[in-house]
Structure 1
Amino acid sequence: MATKKNILIIGASQGIGNGFVKELINDNNIEHIFATYRTGKNAQNLLSLKVLNPEKLTIIQADVTLENDIQEVTNIIKSQIDKLHLVINCVGVLHEENLQPEKSLKHLNADNLLRYFQVNTIPTALFAKHLQPLFKHPELSIFATISAKVGSIEDNKIGGWYGYRASKAALNMLIKNIAIEYSRVSKNTAVIALHPGTTNTQLSAPFQKNVPPEKLFSVNLCIQQLLSVINNITIQDNGKFFSWDGSDLPW
C-alpha cells in the first residue's frame, strides 16, 4: 500500500499556489496539506478551502521574508507530522505598488533590487534550511520552487527586467546548491526549479498584452502541466530546471 503524502504549499493565497491547493485537496493519496499565506485580505479562497477541509488542510499565516516566520511554519508542521513528501514554493514578486520591472539601467534603485531578492530568492534557501529534517526519510520526496525562464542566464537574449531576472538567476543557483547538499544528507529528495510559463495571474497581468493566447495559461492548465512534471520526477532529476512541458531548461 502506497504511503499517503504530506505536502507544503508556500504562498497559497492566490494564483499558482492557490491552484495547487485546490487541485491537491481532492487527491486521496494525500494525507495532509499545509499552506502558507501572508495576509487574510487576499486569502479568502484559501480560508474557504480550510472551512471545507478542516482535517486535511492546515493554513499558516507567515511573512516568508522573515526567518522567524519560516521557523514557526516549520515548528507547526513538525507538531503534526514527522515527514514531508512535497514542498512547492510559489511565492514571487514581479511588480507591486512601488516596484516595476526595469527596462534600463537608469530605472535601477537599490531598494527595489533588494525587494526582488528578499521575496524571490532568499525564502527558498531558508525553507530548505529549516525543513531539511522533514525530508530525512526513505521515501521519494520533492522540494520544488517556482522559478522563471527569464532567470536563465544562457537563455537571456534581450536583457531588461534587471531585478527580477537577477533574483531568479540567484534563486536558480541556490536551488542547485541545495540540491547538492540534500544529495548528501537527504538522499531521497529531488530539489528542482519549475518554470510555469506565462500564467493568467496577478503577477503577469500587466504584461500579457503581447502574449499569444495559446501561450497564456489558465491557472488550472498551469497546475495540470506542473503536476505532470512533478509526478514524473525521480531522484535522478535532483538539481534540474524544468519547463512546464517537462523539458530541461539551461541554468
Structure 2
Amino acid sequence: MKVLVAGAAGGIGSAIVEKLLKDGDHVITISRSGEPGSTHCVADLSRPESVEQVKAFVGKFAPFDAVICCTGILHGGWNMPEKSLSQLSMDWLQQNMLVNVQTHVHLAQAVEPLVKRSAPIKWVSLSAMVGSIEDNALGGWYSYRMSKAALNMFIRNLSIEWGRKAPGCVVVAQHPGTTESALSEPFQAGIAEGKLYTQEQTAERLVSVMKGLSPEQNGRLLHWDGSVIPF
C-alpha cells in the first residue's frame, strides 16, 4: 500500500510509520519537525497556507491507497483538560479546535484533488471516544470533548462528499485507545491495569483496522478494534 501519515513525529504517528514500513508499505510523511526529504514534508497543518504546500508535495505520489491523520492536542504547558465550566477559556478552546480539527481539514483539502472515482482512498483521522456525545457520562474536558466532537462531524461530512465523488472511499474517525505517550502521561496513574497500551500495540491495531476497512464502515467513529462507537 501507499500510505500518507500526517503527524508522523508524534508517539502514535511514528509507531504507525514504523509498522507500515515493517509491512513493506510505501510511506509518505508530514510533520512540523524533521528534515525535509523526498518522502517527508515539513508543514504546520494548523496554518491555512499549508494546504497549497502539502497539495504540491502529495501530488508527486498520487494515487494514495490510504491517509492516516494523527495530529492532535490534549494538554500543553499550563493548559490541562478542564474539570469545570469555570476553567474553560476561549483561548484554549480555540487552540483545541485549531489542532484537533483544522489540521485534519487542511490535510483533506490538500489531498482532495487526488480523490477520484478511479482512485478511492481509505482515510483515518485519530479521534477519541470522549468526543462521543452519547457516551459522555462524566462531563469535564470541555475543550477536548468539543473539538473531537467537531472532528467527528467533519469526518461524517467528508465521508458523504467523498463517497459521492469516489464510490469506494472509506472515511472514518478512530479512537486509538489510551497509549503510552507524552499526550497521555499526566493521566496514566488513573488508568486501569491492562488499559494503557504501548505505541507498538496501538500502531498494529490501527494499521490492521485501516487495511481492513470496508464500505459499511464509511462515516463511522470506530474503536481501536474496529467496532462502532456512537456519535
On whether the aligned pair clears a TM of 0.5, the verdict is yes
Q: Deviations over 1:93-140 (max 9, x none)?
A: 001114211110111111101000000011212222221121215355
Match status 1:14 vs 2:3: no
Q: Deviations over 1:124-174 (max 9, x none)?
A: 122222211212153552011000000000000010000000000000000
Match status 1:89 vs 2:69: yes
**How many angstroms apart in 1 are the aligned matches of 2:76 and 2:116?**
37
Q: What residue ranges of structure 1 are gaps of 5+ in the alignment?
A: 41-46
Counterpart position of 1:35:
29
The DSSP-based 3-state class of the residue aligned with 1:121 is helix
Counterpart position of 2:196:
216
State the aligned residue count: 231
More off after superposition, 214-223 vs 127-136: 127-136
**How many angstroms apart in 2 are the aligned matches of 1:38 and 1:228?**
26
* Greater RCO, 1 or 2 (C-alpha within 8 Å, sep 6+): 2
Percent identical among aligned pairs is 38
Counterpart position of 1:100:
80
Counterpart position of 2:50:
69
Match status 1:122 vs 2:102: yes
The DSSP-based 3-state class of the residue aligned with 1:215 is coil
**How many angstroms apart in 2 are the aligned matches of 1:166 and 1:133?**
29
**How many angstroms apart in 2 are the aligned matches of 1:204 and 1:62?**
24
Aligned positions of 1:194-213 closer than 5 A? 194-213=174-193
TM-score calculated relative to the size of structure 1: 0.87
> What value does the CA root-mean-square deviation take over the aligned residues?
1.6
Match status 1:174 vs 2:154: yes
The DSSP-based 3-state class of the residue aligned with 1:208 is helix
Q: What residue ranges of structure 2 are gaps of 5+ in the alignment?
A: none
Matched to 2:20, the amino acid is L
1:145 aligned to 125, 129, 150, which one? 125
More off after superposition, 123-132 vs 15-24: 123-132
Counterpart position of 1:59:
40
2:144 aligned to 164, 182, 187, which one? 164
Q: Deviations over 1:184-216 (max 9, x none)?
A: 112221000110110001100001111023000
Match status 1:132 vs 2:112: yes
**How many angstroms apart in 1 are the aligned matches of 2:158 and 2:178?**
26
TM-score calculated relative to the size of structure 2: 0.95
- The answer to whether the 8 A contact 1:125-1:178 is kept is no
- Report the CA distance between 1:73 and its aligned residue: 1.4
**How many angstroms apart in 1 are the aligned matches of 2:170 and 2:23?**
21
**How many angstroms apart in 2 are the aligned matches of 1:197 and 1:26?**
22
1:237 aligned to 194, 211, 217, which one? 217
